[in-house]
Structure 1
């Protein structure tokens, strides 16, 4: 069950959002949507959501302030901004929402919702990788990066968990591509990161959400930086508008 929330001080706009969600997901996708006109009520809650649709300009607490609070509760939440004000768009982009939809073209919310669903399915995917002598299950949403070590591949997961499989990194990449995993980036020889876990670039290293700094291959630095930049932009949805 996907837990969703929509927050807008306009009851009329909330009803429009509710209708679009119903038309997009219908009865074929399991979800639960809660509507709020009071942003503070949501701000003071510790509940976690899979998808949050937030109006940007609201009295008291803005959508951006609400995003930062909810993201602390659950970094995996997919945030979609809706707004009727063009002047706030540029500033809102810096908070890295999944997407942003203008109210005058609110029907575009349908595509943003479908993209969210695809991402959630991908993140919840369990990969079964075939090694030379055994098989291993990997929950992709928990994968931060993996690296080649002699005849093995070491998978670095959330919560400092490591998994080790005797297999070539080329074979791992092939199996992930067969499962339509496209958010990998090779940053050094035998070193691949999950771009969803990438936080920032600092000097000669890519820093991941677990705080680890991983070295970048200098001869391909510009190419790597460009790939990370483009992925982040596409993930936020702004190449679609």
Structure 2
């Protein structure tokens, strides 16, 4: 998950980064957190984010303009605005802002909002394009049950029983798919946790039928992640 924090006040920037770092660590979420005081740098880059905290009033480019640009890159992005100015809220609501925060930050409200944001991300459908037999096919991320490596092939399995040989390797799929509910349980298996119907220490079962091994060196970390996932459901 890629998270952006953009605030021209360094003290607030560091406090917010600290809170979010602690939250993602406690929930076993792998997150790349980019904190910057320069809205211009964010606006001029091409990076796409899953979640963003934006100060509305900034000297170079205001947070509303940055949010519009980030929405162009990823329509599913969750945006939090940091502001004490009511005059901006109508325009911010047009961008479907997830929450507003005033300074100084209330840690408990922040954590509760992050819980809601992760639930939203988990439930969001994202369109992907797969390469299969010389054609592109559009599917929904939530339809993906698991992805497996077989020799040099990477095969994607969907809930309706279809299989697609993809151009991406497993590392690329890990970057592409939301790590709030996809987990690499084995060097050859990336699974969608939504489909797990049985979970023992070394084996998971998807949709009551498909058995997938959990690598021994991943078992402890995966089960911590699994329990955190269950708490969010």
Q: How does the TM-score come out when normalised to structure 1?
A: 0.50
2:71–2:77 Cα contact (<8 Å) kept: yes
Partner residue of 2:20? Answer: 21
Give yes or no for the alignment of 1:136 onto 2:160: yes
Measure how far apart 1:24 and its partner are: 2.0
Q: Secondary structure at the match of 2:57?
A: coil
Measure how far apart 1:76 and its partner are: 1.4
> In structure 2, how many angstroms separate the alpha carbons of the residues matched to 1:137 and 1:72?
33
> In structure 1, how many angstroms separate the alpha carbons of the residues matched to 2:55 and 2:119?
23
2:7–2:54 Cα contact (<8 Å) kept: yes
Measure how far apart 1:15 and its partner are: 0.8
Partner residue of 1:93? Answer: 93
Moved over 6 A (4+): none
List aligned pairs for 1:66-85, cutoff 5 A: 66-85=66-85
Q: Secondary structure at the match of 1:125?
A: helix
Measure how far apart 1:127 and its partner are: 6.8
List aligned pairs for 1:27-106, cutoff 5 A: 27=26, 28-106=28-106
1:4–1:34 Cα contact (<8 Å) kept: yes
Measure how far apart 1:81 and its partner are: 0.7
How many aligned residue pairs are there? 134
Partner residue of 1:125? Answer: 142
2:64–2:91 Cα contact (<8 Å) kept: no
2:38–2:60 Cα contact (<8 Å) kept: no
Partner residue of 1:4? Answer: 3
1:117/1:19 Cα in 2 relative to 1: closer, same or farther (>3 Å)?
A: same
Cα RMSD for the two superposed structures: 2.5
1:56–1:64 Cα contact (<8 Å) kept: yes
Q: How does the TM-score come out when normalised to structure 2?
A: 0.51
1:95-142 deviations in whole A, cap 9, x for unaligned? 2212222224442222222211112222253377xxxxxx6169xxxx
> In structure 1, how many angstroms separate the alpha carbons of the residues matched to 2:111 and 2:72?
26
1:6–1:14 Cα contact (<8 Å) kept: yes
> In structure 2, how many angstroms separate the alpha carbons of the residues matched to 1:7 and 1:82?
9
Q: Secondary structure at the match of 1:52?
A: strand
